Structure 1
Amino acid sequence: MIYYYPGESFPAISVTGRQCQLMCPHCQGHYLKSMVEARTGRDLVAVCKGVENRGGVGCLISGGCDARGRVPLPLQAIKQVKEETHLILNVHTGLVDESTAGVLREINPYISFEIPTEAVLRELYQIRAKQEDYFSSLLHLEGLRVIPHVMVGFRTKYDAETISRIRDMGFDTLVLIVFTSTRGTPFENHVVDLQRVRESIEKARSLFPRLFLGCMRPRIRELEECAPLFDGIVVPTPWARDAVIRAGLPVRIMKTCCVVE
């Protein structure tokens, strides 16, 4: 079992600041507010070098999406960071085309790539893209260190199909995140069916040799006590840690995102 504590040694950086063109109704840019802003390539390089100078080990480069579901990444700046620092880079891309994938291949970061279920895409993202476009992006990224992510817990009947298809593509590692009811959004009162979520977790566990519970999830006891089903968990609560102790699992600590092993 790996406990991940990114913190200041592995900060999340938003290349769009607090801006997101999608403004999905379950998030509305809320989680961008806690990220470090770096809205220009020059800012990104400066922020990353500052992380390294303070003893950090890496960073997550993320941000809001444009109207087509892409994160507007300053690729040349990311390439400069890769060349001029020793930081471990994890990048959220959103949808990518072959050209973007080609530049990312030169940089060779870790890539956290979320594949939305049909329900998430239709009701939350509300963009013209289809799920097939996300699987096409995965193909463009072939050969890179891509770790697929799936958000479970929203219209859970769609979870298993998406999870199974990712496994069928040959991926052996999956990160699950869980729908979170965020205060101040239209979905703040949405109730997650934790029994169905557990079923989705068990489905993923049966298919993937490596399974991780990501940072985006509600901190609910019933969910946290599923920790022993995973190989790693980001910032585990006392409920999760107690469950791991009861299961007798050895633990090691990492100060990175959960895509890094």
Structure 2
Amino acid sequence: MTAIRIGVQLQPQHATYAQLREAVLRSEEAGVDVIFNWDHFFPLSGEPDGLHYECWTMLGAWAEQTERAEIGALVSCNSYRNPELLADMARTVDHISNGRLILGIGAGWFERDYDEYGYEFGTAGSRIADLGRALPRIKERWSKLNPAPVREIPIMIGGSGPRKTLRLVAEHADVWHSFGDADALRERSALLTEHAAAVGRDDAAVERSVGVGKEPEEIGEELLAAGATFFTVSTGGPEYDLELTKRWIAWRDDRNARDPQEG
């Protein structure tokens, strides 16, 4: 069984960058496996015009600031950057971090970002279709870049659409990220297995990732039984409270110690 991993998403909103940078240091010191931000241009909660920072320039800084934890966006919006450019940006951050980048990517959904930055919002279907066209272009660009990425950059796709998004996950993703309870995860995971069989891929190669907001003692074992092995807690500024994240880290350590084949 895949080793259990714990991530933290540091929401890049309602904080100074100094506070956010300090939260990154505390997160790595606490022992998280992955530190995420998100790819938006405005806060998603609280004051709509509050403090906020751009995703990929921040990831470049995090690549220099951290030493052990993987980093990435949960998730980067496909609509905001040409696929070849995004591939090159990801490759560059991969080198700065010495091979610790995860390319989290999704179809996009936050209409204000699109409207204020001049992107065409389209429909959910058109955005997913755009993502489907972008993913092969990203991979192809990686094969052409000099220097090549440090490692085969893992692709994380966020979303649970049963017909289109999960098909893209089956075709392209190393990690699938979703939200919801164990029943929802189990149902969508079974659909992912079907899609993977249809495209000739072993769905065991796709790590199941889920966002969590409750105590590990409440939901950890149930989500694990449903197939998740990657659990991410989200926290916002200005405090960036990591206490829940630390409890998930302790649960990870205990669970992996009880199952050495997972560690």
Deviation at 1:73, TM superposition (A): 2.8
What residue is the counterpart of 2:60 in the other structure? 79
Inter-partner Cα distance in structure 2 for 1:15 and 1:5: 19
Distance 1:224 1:202 in 2: 21
Number of aligned residue pairs: 194
SS in 2 for 1:159: coil
Offset at 1:107?
0.8
The reply to whether residue 203 of structure 1 matches residue 173 of structure 2 is no
Paired residue type of 1:107: V
Deviation at 1:115, TM superposition (A): 4.8
TM-score, normalising length: structure 2:
0.51
Structure 2: tracts of 5 or more residues without a match: 45-51, 95-100, 115-120, 143-148, 232-247
**Structure 1, unpaired ranges of 5+:** 18-36, 153-157, 181-191, 243-248, 254-261
Q: Which residue of 2 aligns with 1:177?
A: 178
CA distance in 1, matches of 2:213, 2:19: 32
* Native 8 Å contact 1:59 1:90 kept in 2: yes
Q: Is the 8 A contact 2:41 2:54 kept in 1?
A: no
State the 1:106 CA deviation. Answer: 0.8
Select the residue among 85, 102, 110 that pairs with 2:88.
102
Query: Which amino acid in 2 is paired with 1:211?
Result: V
Q: Which residue of 1 aligns with 2:48?
A: none
| Structure 1 SS opposite 2:207 | strand
* 1:114 aligned residue: 106
Task: Tell me the residue number matched to 2:262.
Answer: 252
Equivalent residue letter for 2:9:
A
Name segments (4+ residues, structure 1) moved above 6 Å: 192-195
In structure 2, the CA distance between the partners of 1:173 and 1:75, relative to structure 1 (3 Å rule), is closer
- Is the partner of 2:191 in helix, strand or coil? helix
* Letter aligned with residue 110 of structure 1: I
Q: What amino acid is aligned across from residue 122 of structure 2 in structure 1?
A: R
Answer whether contact 1:57 1:87 (CA < 8 A) is retained.
no
Contact 1:172 1:209 in 2 (8 A): no
Distance 2:196 2:226 in 1: 7
- Opposite residue 151 of structure 1, the aligned amino acid is G
Task: Indicate whether 1:61 and 2:47 are aligned.
Answer: no
Aligned to 2:122: 128
Deviation digits for residues 32-64 of structure 1, max 9, x if unmatched?
Answer: xxxxx5x53x54444323444x35455423236
User: 2:12 — aligned with what?
Assistant: 15
Structure 1 residues 97 and 225: CA distance shift in structure 2, 3 A: same
